[in-house]
Copies of this chain bind each other. A is one copy, B any other.
């Protein structure tokens, strides 16, 4: 494990952009397991999968969503813990979570060979998600791994600069973000704005961000297909080629670099904040 004075070693961080189909729970999970295995073969030890992986995303009704949801320790966690154990991986994945009070949450799990390390419930819900899910109200936990400190975020959360800031201030080296970015598939060299947000969030905090999008049309919805791993300078270390469809990207990352917040001999992305001026104003 990382200890003070011992920077964590370099690690392969993968984003596994898979094609999913709402309701095809077994097929979705099988495709994810295959992609995680490919990532492991290619040297990844941290693998990020899309949002709402096993259920799919475009629910016809809240009732359909309920039928596709699972507890945090359900089939998704079981299948991915098994593959994490086999390859000694850390895996981040989105799950339609049914919690004890009966509500559904758009959640993400971080798991490793020991099972679930943390559950995060998406705080910023997009569009019709609010018909199905109750938003979370807690900051993601920062989990220490042999390669660095990892935290979760989900999709639309990345558009809220305050949220990524808080996650970084809490000590994350890498933000693992399962996403489903609805939109037209990437067809030009112009980066999707979703990736631009990730770049700015990474650079503004000098953290790594691994955002895993999905692919495959679903009930008329298409996806940006913009999965990327971005470094603390805001530059993509790996990004999905135009129109790549299903695709596993692996980037070599020294996550400990995220602990150097300095941008000059006298400046730092966090040290130069003026929180006394932001107080109050940001809470309106």
- Which residue numbers of A lie inside 8 Å of B, CB to CB? 123-128, 130, 135, 137, 139, 156, 159-163, 165-166, 169, 189-190, 193, 196-197, 199-201, 203-204, 233-235, 264-267, 269, 272-279, 281-284
Measured CA separation A33–B200 after assembly (Å): 34
Query: Are A234 and B193 touching (Cβ within 8 A)?
Result: yes
Query: Are B193 and A203 touching (Cβ within 8 A)?
Result: yes
A122 to B: closest C-beta gap in Å: 11
Query: Are A264 and B126 touching (Cβ within 8 A)?
Result: yes
Chain B residue, CB-CB nearest to A124: B272
Query: Are B278 and A127 touching (Cβ within 8 A)?
Result: no
Chain B residues near A160 (CB-CB < 8 A):
204, 272-274
**Residue from the list B126, B197, B265, B278 in contact with A282, Cβ < 8 A:** B278
Measured CA separation A143–B236 after assembly (Å): 38
Query: Are B272 and A204 touching (Cβ within 8 A)?
Result: no
A68 to B: closest C-beta gap in Å: 22
Known: A200-B199, A200-B200, A234-B193. A162 touches B162 (CB 8 A): yes
Measured CA separation A7–B234 after assembly (Å): 36
A282 to B: closest C-beta gap in Å: 5
Chain B residues near A128 (CB-CB < 8 A):
266
Known: A275-B283, A278-B283, A284-B275. A269 touches B204 (CB 8 A): no
